[in-house]
Chain A
Amino acid sequence: MAKRFVGRARTADPVRLDAPRPSTRHTVRARVDKPDVGTRVIRLPDATQAIFVDHSGRRGRRLRWTLYAVSLLVLALLALLWLTQVVEIG
Chain B
Amino acid sequence: MGTWRGGQRIGDTQHVVLPEPGRSRFSGRRWILAGIGTLVLANLLAIGAYANSRFAPDNEGEPGRQSGVPAAVREGGPVVDARDGRAVAHRVPDRTIVLTFDDGPDPLWTPQVLDVLHKHGVPATFFVLGSQTSRYPEFVERMVREGHEVGAHTFTHPDLAGLSGWRQRLELSQTRSAIAYAAGVTTPLLRLPYSSGVDSLDDKHWSVVRAAGGQDMVSVFDDTDSRDWARPGVDAIVRSSTPEDGHGAVVLMHDAGGDRSQTVAALDTFIPAMRAQGYRFTTVEGAFGGAAPGLAAGHASTGDQVRGGLLVWAVKIADGTGRLLWVLLLLVGTLTLARTLVLFGFALRHARRRRARTWSWGPEVNAPVTVIVPAYNEVKTIAAAVRSLATGTHPEVEVLVVDDESDDGTAEEVEALGLPNVRVVRVPGGGKAAALNAGVALARHDLLVMVDADTVVERDAIHRLVQPFADPAVGAVAGNVKVGNRRRIIGRWQHIEYVIGFNLDRRLYDTLHCMPTIPGALGGFRREAVLAAGGLSRATLAEDTDLTMAIHRAGFQVVYEETALARTEAPSTLPELWRQRYRWSYGTMQAMWRHRRALRERGASGRFGRRGLPFIALFSVVLPLLAPVLDIVAVYGVFFLDRVEALVAWLAVLVIQVITAVLAFRLDREPLRPLWALPFQQLVYRQVMYLVLVHAAATALTGGLLRWQHLRRSGEVAASAT
Q: List, in ascending order, chain A residues with CB within 8 A of B538's CB.
A: 47-48, 50
A48 near B537: Cβ-Cβ < 8 Å = yes
Q: List, in ascending order, chain B residues with CB within 8 A of A55's CB.
A: 18-19, 703, 705
**Interface residue B611 (Cβ < 8 Å from any Cβ of A):** no
Central interface residue in B37, B40, B593, by most chain A CB within 10 Å: B40
B residues in contact (CB < 8 Å) with A? 16, 18-19, 26, 29, 33, 36-37, 40, 43, 166, 169-170, 173-174, 177, 306-307, 310-311, 314, 534, 537-540, 586, 589-590, 593-594, 699-705
Q: List, in ascending order, chain B residues with CB within 8 A of A78's CB.
A: 40, 43
A53 near B704: Cβ-Cβ < 8 Å = yes
Find the A residue at minimum CB distance from B25.
Answer: A64
Selected from A47, A64, A88, the residue in CB contact (under 8 A) with B173 is A88
Tell whether A51 pairs with B539 under 8 Å between CB atoms, given A71-B33, A71-B36, A85-B174.
yes
A88 near B703: Cβ-Cβ < 8 Å = no
Selected from B16, B26, B700, the residue in CB contact (under 8 A) with A64 is B26
**Interface residue A49 (Cβ < 8 Å from any Cβ of B):** yes
Q: In the complex, what's the smallest C-beta–C-beta distance from A77 to chain B, in angstroms? A: 7
Q: In the complex, what's the smallest C-beta–C-beta distance from A1 to chain B, in angstroms? A: 33
A-side interface size class = 20 to 34
B169 near A89: Cβ-Cβ < 8 Å = yes
Central interface residue in A57, A77, A88, by most chain B CB within 10 Å: A88
B702 near A48: Cβ-Cβ < 8 Å = no
Q: List, in ascending order, chain B residues with CB within 8 A of A57's CB.
A: 703
A63 near B702: Cβ-Cβ < 8 Å = yes
- Distance of A81 Cα from B178 Cα, bound (Å): 13
Question: 10 smallest A-B Cβ distances: which pairs?
Answer: A54-B703, A60-B702, A51-B590, A59-B703, A88-B173, A52-B700, A48-B538, A89-B169, A84-B307, A81-B310
**Interface residue A12 (Cβ < 8 Å from any Cβ of B):** no
B539 near A52: Cβ-Cβ < 8 Å = no
Find the B residue at minimum CB distance from A71.
Answer: B36
Offer 6 A-B interface pairs, CB within 8 angstroms, sorted by A: A47-B539, A49-B539, A74-B40, A80-B310, A84-B306, A84-B310
B705 near A53: Cβ-Cβ < 8 Å = yes
Q: In the complex, what's the smallest C-beta–C-beta distance from B24 to chain A, in angstroms? A: 9
**Interface residue A17 (Cβ < 8 Å from any Cβ of B):** no
Find the A residue at minimum CB distance from B538.
Answer: A48
In chain A between 5 and 64, which residues have their CB closer than 8 angstroms to a CB of chain B?
A: 47-55, 57, 59-60, 63-64
Q: List, in ascending order, chain B residues with CB within 8 A of A71's CB.
A: 33, 36-37
Selected from B310, B537, B701, the residue in CB contact (under 8 A) with A63 is B701
- Distance of A81 Cα from B314 Cα, bound (Å): 8
B703 near A89: Cβ-Cβ < 8 Å = no
A60 near B314: Cβ-Cβ < 8 Å = no
Selected from A54, A75, A81, the residue in CB contact (under 8 A) with B311 is A81
Q: In the complex, what's the smallest C-beta–C-beta distance from A38 to chain B, in angstroms? A: 26
Tell whether A64 pairs with B43 under 8 Å between CB atoms, given A49-B539, A71-B33, A89-B173.
no
Q: List, in ascending order, chain A residues with CB within 8 A of B40's CB.
A: 74-75, 78
Selected from B18, B36, B590, the residue in CB contact (under 8 A) with A52 is B590
Central interface residue in A50, A55, A59, A81, by most chain B CB within 10 Å: A50
Q: In the complex, what's the smallest C-beta–C-beta distance from A16 to chain B, in angstroms? A: 28
Q: In the complex, what's the smallest C-beta–C-beta distance from B42 to chain A, in angstroms? A: 11
Find the B residue at minimum CB distance from A74.
Answer: B40
Q: List, in ascending order, chain B residues with CB within 8 A of A80's CB.
A: 310
- Distance of A68 Cα from B310 Cα, bound (Å): 21
B310 near A52: Cβ-Cβ < 8 Å = no
B594 near A51: Cβ-Cβ < 8 Å = yes
Q: In the complex, what's the smallest C-beta–C-beta distance from A25 to chain B, in angstroms? A: 42
Tell whether A50 pairs with B705 under 8 Å between CB atoms, given A67-B33, A78-B43.
yes
Q: List, in ascending order, chain B residues with CB within 8 A of A60's CB.
A: 26, 702-704
Q: List, in ascending order, chain B residues with CB within 8 A of A88's CB.
A: 169-170, 173-174, 177, 307
- Distance of A84 Cα from B177 Cα, bound (Å): 10
Selected from A51, A54, A59, the residue in CB contact (under 8 A) with B540 is A51
Q: In the complex, what's the smallest C-beta–C-beta distance from B390 to chain A, in angstroms? A: 33
| Extra 6 A-B pairs, beta carbons < 8 Å, given A52-B593, A88-B177 | A48-B16, A49-B539, A51-B590, A52-B589, A55-B703, A84-B306
Q: List, in ascending order, chain B residues with CB within 8 A of A47's CB.
A: 534, 537-539
Q: In the complex, what's the smallest C-beta–C-beta distance from B302 to chain A, in angstroms? A: 13
B174 near A53: Cβ-Cβ < 8 Å = no
Q: In the complex, what's the smallest C-beta–C-beta distance from B432 to chain A, in angstroms? A: 13
Q: List, in ascending order, chain A residues with CB within 8 A of B704's CB.
A: 53, 60
Q: List, in ascending order, chain B residues with CB within 8 A of A59's CB.
A: 701-703
Selected from B29, B174, B593, the residue in CB contact (under 8 A) with A51 is B593
- Distance of A64 Cα from B702 Cα, bound (Å): 8
Q: In the complex, what's the smallest C-beta–C-beta distance from A74 to chain B, in angstroms? A: 6
Q: In the complex, what's the smallest C-beta–C-beta distance from B592 to chain A, in angstroms? A: 10
Q: List, in ascending order, chain A residues with CB within 8 A of B593's CB.
A: 51-52
- Distance of A68 Cα from B36 Cα, bound (Å): 10
Find the A residue at minimum CB distance from B705.
Answer: A53
- Distance of A67 Cα from B32 Cα, bound (Å): 11
Central interface residue in A48, A77, A80, by most chain B CB within 10 Å: A48
Find the A residue at minimum CB distance from B308.
Answer: A84
Central interface residue in A51, A53, A74, A84, by most chain B CB within 10 Å: A51
Central interface residue in A54, A67, A68, by most chain B CB within 10 Å: A67
- Distance of A60 Cα from B173 Cα, bound (Å): 44
Selected from B43, B166, B540, the residue in CB contact (under 8 A) with A89 is B166
Find the A residue at minimum CB distance from B314.
Answer: A81
Find the B residue at minimum CB distance from A87.
Answer: B307
Q: List, in ascending order, chain B residues with CB within 8 A of A53's CB.
A: 703-705
Q: List, in ascending order, chain A residues with CB within 8 A of B594's CB.
A: 51
Q: In the complex, what's the smallest C-beta–C-beta distance from A43 to chain B, in angstroms? A: 17
